[in-house]
C-alpha cells in the first residue's frame, strides 16, 4: 500500500516536478506478465525515477547496506527502501550472486517486473561498464524478456557523493524487449551467458550513448582507489620515528 502512496502521492509527483523526465519507449514495457528491466546505473536517484514513471510496480535488487544502517536513521532508511519495493541483497562473499538470482527469480515467479543493474554497482565516472551474467541466468531460468533501459542525465543531477540532487534534464529510454528462448536449457553454459549479457549491455549502450568500458566497474573502482592511496603515500610519506 505504501508503495503506491509513495509513487502517486509523495515521491512520484516530486520527482516529476523537479526533473521533468523525458520518457521514450514506454510502450516496450509489457502491461502484464513477468519481465526484467535492465538498465545502466548512474545515480542514487535511479532507484526512484524509474519506478516513478512506470505504470506497473517494479522491484529492484538493492545492496544490503541500505537496510543495515545503525540507529533510528538506519531503521527509517531500511523501512523506506522496503516500502519502495527494494529487496536487500548481500553483495559480499562467494554466494552473493546466487542469493541475488534466488531473490530475482522469486519476483519473476509472481509475474512481476524485476529491475536490475547488470553492472552491479553505480558508475563512478558516467561510463558504462561490463555487465555481470546474473541477468542472463534469470532471463533463461524464468523464460522472460529483458527490456533494456537507459537513464540519461542522472549522473549530472546526482553524481556519487552528492546527497541532494540538483535540477538537470533527465531522460529515460526503454528499448524493444530482448528474448532469448533460443538458448532454453543453456543457463549453465558460460559462453552463452556472456553472449546474452553482452547483447543486453549493447542494447543499453545504444540507448544511453555512453562510453563503454569492457571491464567490471567494481574492479576499476578498486584499482583507482588503490592508485589514489599510493599517490597520497608518495606525496606525504610517513616520517621516520626518532
Residue 124 CA from chain centroid, whole number: 13
In a domain, 222, yes or no: no
Is 201 domain-assigned?
yes
Identify whether 101 is part of a domain.
yes
Residues of the chain with pLDDT under 70: 1-14, 17-18, 66, 73, 76-77, 80, 83-85, 91-96, 236-242
The answer to whether residue 22 is domain-embedded is yes
Q: Compute the residue count for the chain.
A: 242
CATH number of the domain where residue 129 is located: 3.40.1130.10
CB distance 184 to 143 below 8 Å = yes
What value, to the nearest 5°, has the Cα angle with vertex 79 and ends 121 and 86? Answer: 40
Considering the entire predicted model, what is its pTM?
0.86
Q: 227 lies in a domain?
A: no
pLDDT recorded at residue 215: 96
Give the three-class secondary structure for 39.
strand
Phi, psi of 166 (to 5 degrees): -100, 160
61 falls within a domain: yes
- Written as nine digits, the cell of 122 is 553505480
Give the whole-angstrom CA distance, residue 43 versus residue 125: 10
- The answer to the question of residue 223 being in a domain is no
- Quickly count: other Cβ atoms within 10 Å of residue 238's Cβ: 6
- Total structural domains in the chain? 1
Each residue of 97-131: pLDDT tens digit?
Answer: 788 899 899 999 999 999 999 998 899 999 999 99
Residue 45: which domain range? 2-214
Grid cell at residue 12: 512520484
The whole-angstrom separation of Cα 137 and Cα 146 is: 12
Amino acid at each position: 500500500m505504501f508503495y503506491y502512496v509513495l509513487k502517486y502521492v509523495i515521491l512520484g509527483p516530486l520527482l516529476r516536478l523537479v526533473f521533468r523526465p523525458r520518457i521514450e519507449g514506454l510502450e516496450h514495457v509489457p502491461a502484464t506478465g513477468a519481465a526484467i528491466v535492465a538498465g545502466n546505473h548512474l545515480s542514487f536517484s535511479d532507484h526512484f525515477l524509474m519506478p516513478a514513471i512506470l505504470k506497473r510496480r517494479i522491484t529492484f535488487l538493492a545492496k544490503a547496506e541500505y537496510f543495515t544502517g545503525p540507529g533510528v536513521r538506519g531503521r527509517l532508511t531500511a523501512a523506506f527502501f522496503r516500502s519502495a519495493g527494494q529487496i536487500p541483497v548481500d553483495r559480499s562473499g562467494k554466494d552473493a550472486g546466487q542469493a541475488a538470482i534466488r531473490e530475482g527469480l522469486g519476483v519473476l515467479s509472481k509475474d512481476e517486473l524485476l529491475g536490475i543493474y547488470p553492472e552491479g554497482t553505480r558508475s563512478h565516472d558516467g561510463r558504462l561498464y561490463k555487465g555481470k551474467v546474473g541477468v542472463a541466468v534469470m532471463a533463461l531460468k524464468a523464460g522472460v524478456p529483458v527490456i533494456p533501459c537507459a537513464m540519461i542525465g542522472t549522473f549530472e543531477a546526482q553524481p556519487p557523493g552528492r546527497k541532494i540532487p540538483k535540477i538537470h534534464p533527465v531522460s529515460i529510454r526503454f528499448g524493444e524487449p530482448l528474448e532469448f528462448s533460443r538458448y532454453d536449457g543453456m543457463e549453465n553454459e558460460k559462453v552463452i551467458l556472456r553472449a546474452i549479457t553482452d547483447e543486453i549491455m549493447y542494447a543499453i549502450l545504444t540507448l544511453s550513448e555512453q562510453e563503454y568500458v569492457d571491464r567490471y566497474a567494481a574492479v576499476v573502482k578498486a584499482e583507482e582507489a588503490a592508485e589514489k592511496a599510493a599517490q597520497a603515500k608518495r606525496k606525504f610519506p610517513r616520517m621516520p620515528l626518532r
